[in-house]
Amino acid sequence: MKRSDALERVAPALAGLAGAALVLIGPAYHGQAGIGHLFQALLIGGLAATAVGLALAGRAQRRLERLTRSAQSLAGGVAVPYLAPERADALGALEGHFADMARGVATTIAELRLEQERMEAILRGMVEGVVVTDLSMRVVLLNARARELLGIRATGDEVGRPLVELVRDPALQESARELREGVPVVSQDVMLGGRGGRMLQLNAARLTGADGRAFGFVLVLHDVTELRRLEVIRRDFVANVSHELRTPLTAIKGYAETLLGPAGDDRETARRFLAVIDRHSERLGRLTDDLLTLADLELGRTPLHLAAVDLEPTVEDVIQILDERAARTDVHLTADVDPDTPPVLADGDRLRQVLINLTDNAIKFTPAGGRVTVRAAPGTRPDLVEIAVQDSGIGIPAQDLPRLTERFFRVDKARSRALGGTGLGLAIVKHLIQAHGGTLDIASSVGQGTTVRVVLPAAATAARASFGSKP
C-alpha cells in the first residue's frame, strides 16, 4: 500500500482516537491532572491531523503541478504523453478529462499540419502567383511564384508587412485601392515597371467567412507578357499581310480595268500594262509562296532530308546563280571556302535556299563597286561549321538589328519593295537554321557593311554521335 493511501486511511482513526481521549478524561476535567491530560490529548490529535493534511495537500499539489506542466506543453504545440488518473477522485476525473482533451488536440494539430503541408505544396506547384492579405492590405501569405513575379526578395519578414512596402507599383496599388473601397472582384492587366516591363494578369477578390463578413483579400497573378507580345505580333502580321496583298491586287485591278476600256485597243499600251500586271502577279506569287513556306516551318510541316553536304560546291552553285544579278549592279561576288571545312549535316536544297536568300539580300543593299563574299570555315569547336555572308553595303542601324528576323520588318521599306522583297526572307532563314539545330547572328554598322553568320553542326561529328548511340 502507498504511503499516501495509508495516511488517508489513518486520518479518520486518529481523529476518532482524539475524541475517545476527550471522553475518557472528561470526568477528571476539574482536576489539575485531568486538565493536563486533556491538553496533551488535544495536542496529539491536532498534530496527527496536521500531518495527514499536509501529506494530502502535497500529493494534490504534485498532481496539479503535473497537470499544469502538461497543459503548458500542449499549449506550446508539444505532444503530451497519456496522463493516467492516479485516483478515482475529483482530481482523477480532471486528469482523465485532460488526457482525453490532449488526445483530441494532438489529433487536430496533426490534421492541421497535414492540411498546411498540402496547401504549401499546392502553392509551390502553382504557375500563378498568390498573395493573401488582411483588410488593411498586410501580407498574410504569398508563394514563391508571387515573389518572383513581383520582384520581392525572400528575406523572411514579408508576412505582416503592408503590400505597398513590398511592391511599389502604382498599377498594383490602384487595384488594391479598388478592393478596399468595396469592389468585390478586380480583373485587369498590370504592367510592372512601366512600358516594356512585365505584363501580369491580375485577378483579385474579397475573402469572406461563413457569416458573409470580409476578412481579407486574395490576389492571383499570371505572367502574360509573352502572350500579349504574341497578340501584338499576330495583329501586326495580319495588318502587314493585308497591306502587302493590297498593293499588287490594287495595281492588277487598276490596270485590268484600264485594259478593258479604250486604252486596251492600243497594242503598245496594252503590252505595257500587261507587263505591269505580270510584275505584280509575280510579286503576289512570291509573297504567297513565302507565307506558305513560313507557316510550314513554324508548324514543323517542312521535312528535312539531312545528309553530309560539302560546302565548297554548294557555295559555288550559289555564286553561279547570283553572279549575273551581281554583275548587273556592279557588285563583285566571290567565294572563300577554307579547304579544312568539314561537311555540314543539312538538307542540301534548304541550305542553298538559305545561302541564296542571304547573298541576294547582301547584293541588293550593296552599292555599285561594292563587294559580297560568301565564306565557310571550321567553327570554334570541332563539331561546328561557320558560314558567313559579308558585304560592304549600306549597313543596318544598331536599333534595328534585333528586329531583322521579324516577319515583314524592313529597314528601308521603299528600297526593299522596289527591289522585290517580301519582308519574309530573314524570317524564313531563321526558322530553317533553327530546324537544322544551328544559330544565326547578324553584325552590322551603318556605312561599313553587314556580316551574317550561320553556325551549323558538322556532319562527321553528328555521324559519330549517332553511331555511338546505337546498341
Supply the mean pLDDT for the chain: 77
pLDDT confidence of residue 401: 81
Q: Does the pLDDT at position 263 exceed 50?
A: yes
Please name the helix (run of DSSP H) or strand (run of DSSP E) that holds residue 288, with its range, or none: helix 267-298
Query: What span, in angstroms and rounded, lies between the C-alpha atoms of 170 and 148?
Result: 18
Q: What's the pLDDT at 467?
A: 33
Distance between start and end Cα atoms, the chain = 82
Contacts by residues 404-411 (CB-CB < 8 Å, ≥ 24 positions apart): 404/442, 405/429, 405/430, 405/440, 406/233, 407/233, 407/237, 407/240, 407/294, 408/236, 408/237, 408/240, 408/241, 408/244
Q: What is the Cα–Cα distance from 169 to 63, expressed in whole angstroms?
A: 60
- Categorize the per-residue pLDDT at 266 as very low, low, confident or very high, splitting at 50, 70 and 90: confident
Is pLDDT of 459 > 80? yes
How far is residue 378's CA from residue 70's CA, in Å, rounded to a whole number? 78
Burial of residue 231 (CB within 10 Å: 0-12, 13-18, 19+) is: exposed
Higher pLDDT, 448 or 106: 448
More confident residue, 276 or 82: 276
Does residue 27 carry a pLDDT above 60? Answer: no
Model pLDDT, residue 48: 63
Express each pLDDT in 324-354 by its tens digit: 989 998 999 999 999 989 999 999 988 998 9
- Give the CA radius of gyration of the chain: 46
Contact between 24 and 37 under an 8 Å Cβ cutoff? The reply is no
Model confidence at 468: pLDDT above 50 = no
Give the mean model confidence (pLDDT) for residues 295-299. 77
Give residue 111's pLDDT band: very low, low, confident or very high (50, 70, 90): confident
CB atoms within 10 A of CB 131: 28
Band (1; pLDDT cuts 50, 70, 90): very low
The pLDDT score that the predictor gives to residue 59 is: 65
Please say if the pLDDT value at position 315 is more than 60.
yes
Q: Which residues pair with 221 in a beta bridge?
A: 129, 202
Mean pLDDT calculated for residue range 79-108:
69
What's the Cα-to-Cα distance from 106 to each of 2, 72, 76, 117, 119, rounded to whole Å?
Answer: 33, 14, 11, 16, 20
Q: Does position 471 have pLDDT exceeding 50, yes or no?
A: no
pLDDT higher for 40 or 427?
427
In the prediction, which pLDDT does 272 show?
Answer: 87
Query: Which contiguous run of DSSP H or E holds residue 151?
Result: none
**Grid cell 502574360 in the structure block, residue:** 224
Answer positive or negative: Cα dihedral of 159, 161, 166, 167: positive
Task: With CA atoms as reference, report the closest residue to 387 among 458, 323, 435.
Answer: 458
Do the bridges between strand 332-337 and strand 371-378 make them parallel or antiparallel, or are there none, so unpaired? parallel
Domains of the chain: 3-108 (no CATH), 127-223 (3.30.450.20), 228-298 (1.10.287.130), 307-467 (3.30.565.10)
What pLDDT is stored for residue 318 in this prediction?
Answer: 92
Residues 163-176 have a mean pLDDT of: 80
The 10s digit of each residue's pLDDT in 378-423 is 988 888 999 999 999 888 888 888 877 877 776 665 555 555 556 7
pLDDT digits over 178-202, tens only? 888 888 888 888 887 666 678 888 8
Residue 3's pLDDT is 46
The C-alpha cell of 362 is what? 547582301
**pLDDT given at position 386:** 93
User: Is the separation of the CB atoms in 345 and 307 below 8 Å?
Assistant: yes
